[in-house]
């Protein structure tokens, strides 16, 4: 190719290497590290963050981008080269506004606050976590100030996860969801059946997860699955994918977490190997990522065709608990609408309300229009209003999520937008694979994975969510297919 | 303190952070990484190695060291500050001679060759590993050429692990050992008893290791113990110590590996926290490190007093195998001299011969006086001569060790020097703790750990092996106490 382009790729490769090392440090910290390692680890992460930042926002990268502008014009929009130059410029212009010291301070704070959060959550002690949270939002305000937000200051944070998305776009989608989800939540809520509480021995849950993931496409060659406090997925290369999950004897949530994280992992696994060690080697956005985790968790993993295949093996794993439970009763139970405390355990219908609550509180916290002392009460009031749930302990309420300790403010909306987008994409999958249900019933997921790989995964970050969605469905984010899907599903679930 | 000193510490802290990140990457690679991650991982490690190297050998560090020379003179030799300046200068002058590209190439090669070694070892396929080994030694020769060796070229490699040590010092020590160990090996060799082959269920071995390590001072707060192919210890901070071990149903070697790696770990754990994130935050040398792993593995872990405490629990763990075996018979079995293929499984007496063999072959390989095609035959001939062992498969011979794939040429002598030094130090421990045996019999290891912490661990890299040994025993490396210890032990082992 071109000398400047090769130079740019080399420089970006180094940045990728430093960031990749940080990913390993973060994964190790959450999955493996003894608590004593936290202090020094925070220093390491701070230094690497600064190094990666400095090298990425350097004048040299800017000059190479200028030099490569004509090449970008010449080449097709979706070529690897034009995309790399275009997306790198967008990132470069954005990050250049953030001083290296602030970036390092945010990373160091995130690393330390995470440890504090783990302890505060275990002790259900919001007061112990409050100073860390205060600092998180102070840093976020300083971060927002690096930009000159035209609209809502929250737009700056949203844009980190959803390039091009604004509060003005999100708010009406969420208002429509609130309106559409409310009646469904009111209509659900029959009591849990005894079999839903297990006991499900943890070792068998692990085996069952691996049985399902193996058919999905998980292999020991490129993947790992480990237990941790809060399930997540991280990739260190397109062929080194780490999933984590958590086990509880009294529910089967680990299986759904595993399918969820698999959806994130298979996205990263499917990014074209040609994009490795470049800024394009990741998902298009957090919402697009979440659309894939939700697709595998819910549209596949809570569907009746899937369970026609998976249920016999599940009964074999837990014969005492599920031996006498018919498939349709089990399927109804895993799809029942039941308001609860914990977002990651929430059903597809109530989930949106958890997100809308966080979206509203984050905006208030950023604006300073709510005191931190009042946050648990505000959280609990919204839980009562939106879901009819009475939160009695902060570990089941405001302390449940890792995001605010990790500095990931503005991230939550992506989750619900992912749900919405997942159904928009699913409609296209059904057009592309007419016998999809029959394949799922046979435990065959290869064609589904290939379709998604071809239309979504391989592009990595070449397109924004808006661009990719427009290519796929010829339009923008639309909550109606999602609401229709929920209405349809809930009305057709077999009664007890 | 002084502005230049603070600047130096900051610069060295950054280098430590990059190196610490590399350690996490290396540990993850050996313990956790799915095979698919190897290619990109090698790039990451190569980039970080280069970054750490560039920052450490920078002119800026040199200028700060010059500026700080008067401060070093003023302060006591063993002060943190004078030691940091002195040891940093030694490292800086040495590493400055190695071009960044060569350092990165060595790291990248090590990372890839390690993967090739794992496969070649599993297949016992020396031919598959040969090209990697050839490259290892080519790189080592280029490395040696960066210096102007006055004596043996091998001195350059030795000095990386044992500052100040030369082939001329090592050779006579090893010749004396060959002479002294030969008759002991001839005298041993009674056949193994049935109970030595187990079966010892792996899960119980793991529990037993944790039972012992827990009393030694291992805590979940600062340590981890994981299974891997080749046991090792790595520390990511003085309070983040990772031990690895391996389990086999048909022997108890995992326990001795665990005690061995604990010895390495407790050394790193005991380095003064004031030295954290500086070049002093490590052991004095590899031999000094090995003296501590051997002290805990052998001088503690194969002693009769230790087993008076540990044996009842061991019998409880394996009642079918050991229930009827008396303590003295067990103790004799774990101390029996029995020539064998594998270095890490070798007894205290034959171990030295394994090292001397490697020392001799490494010198020939570096000098190019042996062809790689002839290496397995040469290995096997020496095994027959020194130990009377007939090596039939390369996985039990030349392919058994990780060192040459990892580029660690010149490292092996440290192991045997560590054995020798461990007994020199042990004589001093006995003077300092007169009732040591009684403490071991009660499973009390706190005073021993404190003594070693005070006299050895806390100093980190402040002193060379020679300086530290001189402070401790008033002399240099002396093989006689080690030979006397072995003679004494073997002559007093109770007969069958």
Q: List the single best residue of A10, A24, A25, A203 to mutate versus B (max B Cβ within 10 A).
A: A24
- The pLDDT assigned to B189 comes to 58
Candidate from B17, B36, B221 with C-beta closest to A239: B36
> Residue B96: exposed, middle, or buried by beta-carbon count in 10 A (0-12, 13-18, 19+)?
middle
A67 tagged catalytic:
no
Question: A57-99, pLDDT tens digit by residue?
Answer: 999 999 999 999 999 999 999 999 999 999 999 999 999 998 8
Q: Which residues of A touch B28 (CB under 8 A)?
A: 24, 28
Evaluated on CA atoms A359, A362, A367, A373, the torsion sign reads positive
Question: Could you tell me which residues come within 8 angstroms of residue A79 by beta carbon, excluding any fewer than 6 positions away?
Answer: none
Q: Which residues of A touch B220 (CB under 8 A)?
A: 34
| Tens digit of each residue's pLDDT (9 = 90 or more) over A247-268 | 999 999 999 999 999 999 999 9
Q: Do A40 and B221 touch (CB under 8 A)?
A: no
- Span A418-455, pLDDT tens digits: 999 999 999 999 999 999 999 999 999 999 999 999 99
From B467's Cα to the closest Cα of chain A, the distance in A is: 29
CB pairs under 8 A between A and B: 121
Which pLDDT does position B46 carry in this prediction? 87
Interchain proximity B237–A276, CB inside 8 Å: no
DSSP code string of B429-483? HHHH-TTHHHHHHTT--HHHHHHHHHHTGGGTTSS-HHHHHHHHHSS---SHHHH
Interface test mutation site (partner A, options B22, B34, B51, B104, max chain A beta carbons within 10 A): B34
From A474, A429, A483, select the one nearest A175 (Cα to Cα).
Answer: A483
- What residues contact B478, with CB distance under 8 A and at least 6 apart? B420, B424
Q: What is the pLDDT of residues B450-475, one digit of tens each?
A: 999 999 999 999 999 999 999 999 99
Q: What is the pTM of this model?
A: 0.88
B19 CB neighbours in chain A (<8 A) are: none
Mean pLDDT of chain A: 94
A24 and B24 in contact by Cβ < 8 A?
yes
Using CA coordinates, name the residue in chain B closest to A16: B44
CB contact under 8 A, A47 and B14: yes
The token duo for B345 is 């499984």
pLDDT band at A493 (very low <50, low <70, confident <90, very high): confident
With bands split at pLDDT 50, 70 and 90, how would you rate the model's confidence at A46?
confident
Q: Which residues of A touch B (CB under 8 A)?
A: 13-14, 17-18, 20-22, 24-25, 28, 32-37, 39-41, 43-44, 46-48, 51, 220-224, 236-241, 276-277
The stretches in chain B having pLDDT less than 50 are 188, 496
DSSP state for residue B343 in the 8-state scheme: G
Q: Residue A108 — pLDDT band, cuts 50, 70, 90? A: confident
In angstroms, rounded to a whole number, what is the distance separating the alpha carbons of residues B481 and B477? 10
For residue B243, list its beta bridge partners. Answer: B225, B233
Q: Are A212 and A302 within 8 A, CB to CB? A: no
CA distance B155 to A476: 68
User: Contacts of residue A21 in chain B, CB cutoff 8 Å?
Assistant: 21-22, 24-25, 44, 48
Nearest-Cα residue of chain B relative to residue A11: B47
Among chain A residues, CA nearest to B224: A34
Nearest CA to CA, how far is A119 from chain B (Å)?
13
- Identify the pLDDT of residue A495: 61
Q: Chain A: give the shortest CA distance to residue B222, in Å.
A: 5
Q: How far is A414 from chain B (nearest CA, A)?
A: 28
Residue of A nearest to B276 (CA): A40
CB contact under 8 A, B18 and A222: no
Give the whole-angstrom CA distance, residue B58 versus residue B97.
12
Residue A219, min C-alpha distance to chain B (Å): 9
Identify the band that residue A189 occupies on the pLDDT scale cut at 50, 70 and 90: low
Look at residue B50 in the predicted model and tell me its pLDDT.
87
In this model, does residue A210 exceed pLDDT 90?
A: yes
Predicted pLDDT at B230: 81
pLDDT band at residue A240 under the 50/70/90 scheme: very high
**Contact call for B17 and A220, based on CB within 8 A:** no
- Which residue in A14, A25, A41 is closest to B47 by CB distance? A14
- For residues A277-281, give the mean pLDDT: 97
Q: Which residue has 């740019």 as its token pair?
A: A8
Q: Which residues of B touch A34 (CB under 8 A)?
A: 220-224, 239-241
């Amino acid at each position: 190719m071109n000398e400047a382009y090769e130079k740019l790729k080399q420089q970006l490769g180094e940045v990728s290497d430093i960031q990749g090392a940080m990913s390993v440090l973060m994964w190790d910290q959450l999955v493996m590290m003894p608590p004593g390692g936290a202090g020094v680890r925070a220093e390491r992460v701070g230094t690497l963050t600064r190094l990666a930042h400095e090298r990425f926002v350097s004048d040299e990268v800017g000059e190479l981008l200028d030099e490569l502008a004509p090449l970008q014009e010449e080449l097709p929009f979706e070529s690897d080269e034009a995309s790399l130059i275009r997306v790198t410029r967008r990132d470069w212009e954005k990050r250049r506004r953030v001083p290296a010291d602030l970036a390092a301070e945010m990373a160091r704070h995130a690393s330390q606050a995470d440890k504090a959060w783990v302890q505060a959550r275990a002790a259900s002690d919001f007061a112990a976590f409050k100073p860390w949270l205060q600092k998180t939002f102070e840093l976020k305000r300083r971060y927002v100030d690096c930009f000159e937000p035209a609209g809502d200051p929250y737009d700056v944070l949203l844009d980190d996860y959803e390039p091009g998305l604004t509060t003005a776009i999100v708010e009406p989608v969420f208002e429509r969801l609130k309106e559409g989800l409310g009646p469904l939540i009111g209509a659900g809520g029959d009591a849990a059946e005894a079999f839903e509480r297990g006991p499900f021995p943890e070792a068998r849950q692990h085996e069952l997860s691996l049985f399902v993931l193996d058919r999905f496409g998980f292999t020991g060659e490129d993947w790992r699955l480990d237990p941790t406090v809060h399930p997540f997925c991280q990739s260190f290369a397109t062929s080194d994918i780490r999933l984590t999950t958590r086990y509880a004897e009294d529910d089967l949530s680990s299986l759904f977490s595993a399918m969820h994280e698999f959806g994130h992992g298979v996205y990263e696994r499917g990014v074209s190997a040609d994009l490795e060690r470049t800024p394009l080697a990741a998902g298009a956005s957090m919402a697009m990522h979440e659309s894939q985790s939700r697709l595998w968790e819910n549209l596949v993993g809570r569907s009746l065709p899937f369970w026609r295949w998976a249920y016999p093996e599940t009964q074999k794993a837990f014969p005492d608990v599920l031996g006498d439970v018919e498939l349709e009763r089990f399927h109804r139970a895993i799809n029942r609408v039941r308001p609860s405390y914990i977002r990651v355990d929430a059903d597809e219908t109530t989930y949106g309300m958890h997100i809308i609550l966080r979206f509203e509180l984050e905006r208030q916290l950023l604006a300073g229009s709510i005191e931190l002392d009042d946050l648990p009460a505000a959280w609990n009031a919204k839980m009562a209003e939106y879901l009819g749930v009475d939160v009695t302990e902060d570990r089941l309420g405001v302390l449940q999520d890792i995001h605010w300790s990790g500095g990931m403010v503005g991230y939550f909306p992506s989750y619900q937008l992912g749900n919405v987008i997942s159904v928009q994409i699913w409609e296209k999958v059904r057009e592309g694979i007419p016998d999809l249900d029959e394949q799922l019933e046979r435990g065959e997921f290869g064609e589904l994975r290939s379709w998604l790989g071809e239309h979504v995964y391989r592009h990595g970050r070449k397109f924004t969510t808006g661009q990719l969605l427009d290519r796929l469905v010829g339009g923008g984010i639309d909550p109606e297919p999602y609401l229709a899907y929920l209405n349809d599903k809930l009305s057709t679930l077999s009664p007890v």
